[in-house]
């Protein structure tokens, strides 16, 4: 039986929940609660009871402006759905949740989330390597293009008819004649 068939939550589902906020990949508290099949309030209560485990680089509360942007982006009604500013959890914060939420589902889902974060990091590294190789190739092609253009110019010069040369008279010339 493969890892995929044992998964409680498909990787694609988790990938869609990962947002980039403040330059960090994060998951909203409500999305994590849905994955763990617990109420968002209960997830946040567990976090509050263990607040020392969640420094600001593991979890943070969205600013009013970030929340407003999030509501606009996802079309969340100001009267329904989320009314409180959500917490978001970085990869380290999600890992820390496994020590706070101890249900079998929470542990299994956390493992899947960690795998998705690792896979995304590998893709990013692979993309950076590919971008570097493409830039290198582009520099090489630019250099080759310049060399090829130089060769074409030299060939054109060789193919051009020679400039008519003013013929010098044959024989001895005096200074007055020349």
In CATH, what number is assigned to the domain containing residue 63?
Answer: 3.10.260
Q: Is residue 162 part of a domain?
A: no
Question: What total number of domains does the chain contain?
Answer: 1
Q: Is residue 144 part of a domain?
A: no
Among residues 154, 156, 153, 35, the alpha carbon closest in space to that of 94 is found at 35
Q: Is residue 43 part of a domain?
A: yes
pLDDT score, position 9: 81
- Spatial distance between the Cα atoms of 147 and 62, rounded to a whole number of angstroms: 55
Written as six digits, the tokens of 98 are 């496994």
Q: Is residue 163 part of a domain?
A: no
Q: Is residue 106 part of a domain?
A: yes
Domain ranges, residue 68: 3-124
Query: Is the Cβ–Cβ distance between 15 and 116 less than 8 Å?
Result: yes
Q: Which residues of 29-52 are buried (b: 16+ CB within 10 A; e: fewer)?
A: bbbbbbbbebebeebbebbeeeee
By percentage, how much of the chain surpasses pLDDT 70? 88
CA atoms within 13 A on the CB side of 18: 21
**84 against 81, higher pLDDT:** 84
Q: 20-24, 126-130, 155-159: lowest mean pLDDT where? A: 126-130
Query: Is the Cβ–Cβ distance between 110 and 98 less than 8 Å?
Result: yes
Q: Is residue 148 part of a domain?
A: no
Q: Is residue 143 part of a domain?
A: no
Q: Is residue 154 part of a domain?
A: no
pLDDT at 37 over 60: yes
- Spatial distance between the Cα atoms of 91 and 95, rounded to a whole number of angstroms: 6
Q: Is the pTM of this model over 0.85?
A: no
Query: Is the Cβ–Cβ distance between 18 and 120 less than 8 Å?
Result: yes
Average of per-residue pLDDT across 56-81: 76
Among residues 34, 3, 5, the alpha carbon closest in space to that of 111 is found at 3
Give the pLDDT confidence of 113-144 residue by residue, as tens digits.
Answer: 888 988 888 887 777 888 788 888 888 888 88
Alpha helices in the chain (DSSP H): 3-6, 11-17, 29-36, 40-49, 64-74, 91-100, 104-159
pLDDT at 3 over 50: no
pLDDT at 5 over 50: no
């Amino acid at each position: 039986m493969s890892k995929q068939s044992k998964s409680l939550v498909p990787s694609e589902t988790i990938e869609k929940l990962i947002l980039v906020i403040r330059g960090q990949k994060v998951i909203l508290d409500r999305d994590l609660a849905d994955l763990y099949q617990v109420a968002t309030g209960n997830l946040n209560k567990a976090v509050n009871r263990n607040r020392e485990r969640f420094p600001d680089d593991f979890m943070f509360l969205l600013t009013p402006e970030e929340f407003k942007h999030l509501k606009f982006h996802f079309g969340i009604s100001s009267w329904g759905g989320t009314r409180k500013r959500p917490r978001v959890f970085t990869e380290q914060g999600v890992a820390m949740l496994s020590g706070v939420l101890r249900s079998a589902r929470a542990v299994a889902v956390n493992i899947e989330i960690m795998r998705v974060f690792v896979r995304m990091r590998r893709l990013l590294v692979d993309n950076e390597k590919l971008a570097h190789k493409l830039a290198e190739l582009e520099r090489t092609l630019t250099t080759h293009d310049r060399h090829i253009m130089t060769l074409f110019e030299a060939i054109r010069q060789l193919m051009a008819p020679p400039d008519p040369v003013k013929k010098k008279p044959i024989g001895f010339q005096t200074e007055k004649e020349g």
